[in-house]
């Protein structure tokens, strides 16, 4: 295979080296960005009188033809041509003749690949933002549909205080809201245009970088050419955003796995979202949740891999940087799949409200409320804690719960108890009483849902703006 850079070489490339250095097997994903970037570059070259406008027209039509060929499956990517950039440029010259060779004026593959990847990340961010917003919507719907369901709240996976199931779901909703905030940060740094940095130092031609930025809907242009070609921060930020998002989905997965077990029986996952066992006929396994939990590991791995690749690199471009792409693409695919499948799964879950409530009828999740009752009668909290602790021990010995005690039994622990204590520690009272801002009472959960809807609609407006600025 004759190389675009073959002039300096007397020997042809070792076939193993060709295979090892080639990135076309994965960077062919960037074809659309590569072609759009080249079209903008060609327009700019003509506008700045670096090439003639009829030459630019030939180049642009040639590039459009190549895009049609690729999309029709009529383009063979060659390993010998290393990457997407040289595969397209070589074909361009084959199609339109030597004028195709003018396209690479005032440009290097170093700024070209950076441009393509920036554009690709922007495009994928919009899709991921849409999927994220849809999952948030699915969580809101689940919370609203089950707004009266009470469940045990946990710390240390030991029952702690009763909460609304909706409140528990909303905790995930607000995590995802923060994820969206991080996505906006990634967008800002992806939205900087690197082309025109050349190989590393800029170019001798009178180019117009801001024109290219405008053509391709970039909000900013890199200020430093060395930084432009060697910056992978926006990919690392994307991977960090993705890692934290996956961590959230993984925590939710862990809960779904526990909750759908025979031990908990808090939820039932739809048959469509579970799989069976090849040997045990009774099994219905929460594979989706397990895989999301498992795939979180590879998303972290991709982040660690690129952080490690980047840490020792001298400025500016080094071939090591080609290692950014497989992890990036894999992270994008994993996050998109996980978000879509979770939204679907969530919309199909059945919530077993009577089971959740029943568990609370046989435990001491109302103990804090009993202590709070005494505090409201004037007892210092520490002493109230002690009184209730003793009552709990007594009940455990007697094989009963706090509400099984008679008023006389309550009074043996403190004279401050009166008849209204039983009402003060029903499960429903415990939930309704936690009416502090952000708490679990129905009133607070309603308010939180309202705030959530506002956040969600702000996200949709941000996505509308982003959509106007992608390919």
Catalytic residues, by residue number, are 156, 277
Q: How far apart are CA 113 and CA 217, in angstroms?
A: 17
Q: How far apart are CA 379 and CA 388, in angstroms?
A: 12
Is residue 38 part of the contact set for ligand ARG (CB under 6 A)? no
Task: Kindly state the helix (H) or strand (E) to which residue 274 belongs, with its residue range.
Answer: none
Shortest Å distance, C-beta 38 to ligand ARG: 14
Helices 53-71 and 84-96: angle between axes, nearest 10 degrees: 120
With beta carbons less than 8 A apart as the criterion, state whether 414 and 424 touch. Answer: no
Q: How far apart are CA 95 and CA 73, in angstroms?
A: 17
Shortest Å distance, C-beta 447 to ligand ARG: 49
Shortest Å distance, C-beta 128 to ligand ARG: 22
Q: For residues 109 and 434, which CB has a smaller minimum distance to ligand ARG in the complex?
A: 109
Is residue 228 part of the contact set for ligand ARG (CB under 6 A)? no
Quick note: the x/- pattern for ligand ARG over 70-99, rule CB under 6 A, is -------------x----------------
């920036």: which residue's tokens? 118
Q: For residues 329 and 337, which CB has a smaller minimum distance to ligand ARG in the complex?
A: 329
Q: How far apart are CA 340 and CA 345, in angstroms?
A: 9
Shortest Å distance, C-beta 8 to ligand ARG: 13
Task: Kindly state the helix (H) or strand (E) to which residue 267 belongs, with its residue range.
Answer: strand 267-268
Shortest Å distance, C-beta 186 to ligand ARG: 20
Q: Candidates 38, 67, 87, 110: give the one binding ligand ARG (CB under 6 A).
A: 110
Under rule CB under 6 A, which residues in 153-172 are in contact with ligand ARG?
A: none
Piece of the chain touching ligand ARG by CB under 6 A; list 108-116, 139-147, 214-222, 453-461: 108-116
Helices (H) and strands (E) in the chain, counts: 19, 6
Name the pairing type of β-strands 220-221 and 192-193: parallel
Under rule CB under 6 A, which residues in 260-289 are in contact with ligand ARG?
A: none
Under rule CB under 6 A, which residues in 307-326 are in contact with ligand ARG?
A: 317, 319, 321-322
Locate the DSSP E strands across 110-225: 150-155, 158-164, 192-193, 220-221
Q: For residues 27 and 369, which CB has a smaller minimum distance to ligand ARG in the complex?
A: 27
**Cα distances (angstroms) measured from residue 422 to each of 127, 181, 353, 404, 410:** 53, 45, 23, 9, 10
Q: What is the DSSP letter of 264?
A: T
Is residue 230 part of the contact set for ligand ARG (CB under 6 A)? no
Is residue 113 part of the contact set for ligand ARG (CB under 6 A)? yes
Under rule CB under 6 A, which residues in 10-29 are in contact with ligand ARG?
A: 23, 27
Spatial CB neighbours of 135, under 8 Å, sequence gap ≥ 6: 176, 339, 342, 343, 346
Piece of the chain touching ligand ARG by CB under 6 A; list 107-115, 307-315, 368-376, 382-390: 107-115
Residue 37: helix, strand or coil by DSSP?
helix
Shortest Å distance, C-beta 201 to ligand ARG: 14
Positions that interact with ligand ARG (CB under 6 A): 23, 27, 83, 109-110, 113, 317, 319, 321-322
């Amino acid at each position: 295979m004759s190389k675009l850079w073959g002039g300096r070489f007397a020997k042809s490339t070792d076939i193993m080296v060709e295979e090892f250095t080639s990135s076309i097997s994965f960077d062919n994903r960037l074809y659309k960005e590569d072609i759009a970037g080249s079209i903008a570059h060609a327009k700019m070259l003509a506008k700045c009188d670096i090439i003639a406008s009829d030459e630019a027209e030939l180049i642009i039509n040639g590039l459009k033809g190549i895009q049609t060929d690729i999309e029709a499956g009529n383009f063979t990517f060659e390993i010998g041509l290393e990457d997407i950039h040289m595969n397209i440029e070589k074909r361009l010259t084959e199609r339109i003749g030597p004028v195709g060779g003018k396209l690479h004026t005032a440009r290097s593959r170093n700024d070209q690949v950076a441009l393509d990847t920036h554009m690709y990340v922007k495009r994928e961010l919009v899709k991921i933002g849409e999927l994220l917003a849809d999952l948030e919507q699915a969580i809101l719907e689940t919370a609203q549909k089950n707004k009266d369901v009470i469940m045990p709240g946990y710390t240390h996976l030991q029952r702690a205080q009763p909460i609304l199931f909706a409140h528990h779901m909303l905790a995930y909703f607000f995590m995802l809201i923060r994820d969206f905030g991080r996505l906006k940060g990634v967008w800002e740094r992806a939205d900087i245009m690197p082309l025109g940095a050349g190989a590393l130092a800029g170019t001798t031609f009178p180019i117009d970088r801001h024109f290219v930025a405008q053509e391709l809907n970039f909000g900013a242009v890199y200020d430093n050419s060395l930084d432009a070609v060697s910056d992978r921060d926006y990919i690392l930020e994307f991977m960090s955003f993705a890692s934290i998002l996956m961590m959230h989905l993984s925590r939710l997965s862990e809960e779904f796995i526990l909750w759908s077990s025979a031990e908990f029986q808090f939820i039932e996952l739809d048959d469509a979202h579970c799989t069976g066992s090849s040997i045990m006929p009774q099994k219905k396994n929460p594979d989706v949740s397990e895989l999301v939990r498992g795939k979180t590991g590879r998303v972290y791995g991709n982040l660690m891999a690129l952080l490690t690749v980047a840490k020792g690199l001298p400025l500016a471009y080094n071939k090591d940087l080609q290692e950014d792409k497989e992890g990036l693409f894999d992270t994008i695919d994993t996050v998109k799949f996980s978000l879509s499948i979770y939204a679907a799964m969530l919309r199909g879950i059945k919530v077993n409200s009577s089971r959740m409530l029943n568990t609370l009828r046989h435990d001491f999740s109302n103990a804090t409320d009993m202590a709070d009752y005494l505090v409201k009668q004037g007892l210092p909290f520490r002493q109230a804690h002690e009184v209730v602790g003793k009552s709990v021990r007594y009940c455990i010995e007697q094989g009963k719960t706090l509400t099984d005690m008679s008023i006389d039994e309550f009074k043996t622990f403190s004279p401050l108890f009166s008849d209204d204590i039983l009402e003060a520690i029903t499960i429903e009272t415990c939930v309704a009483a936690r009416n502090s801002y952000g708490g679990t009472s129905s009133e607070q959960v309603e308010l939180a849902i309202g705030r959530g809807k506002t956040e969600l609609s702000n996200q949709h407006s941000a996505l509308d703006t982003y959509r106007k600025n992608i390919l």
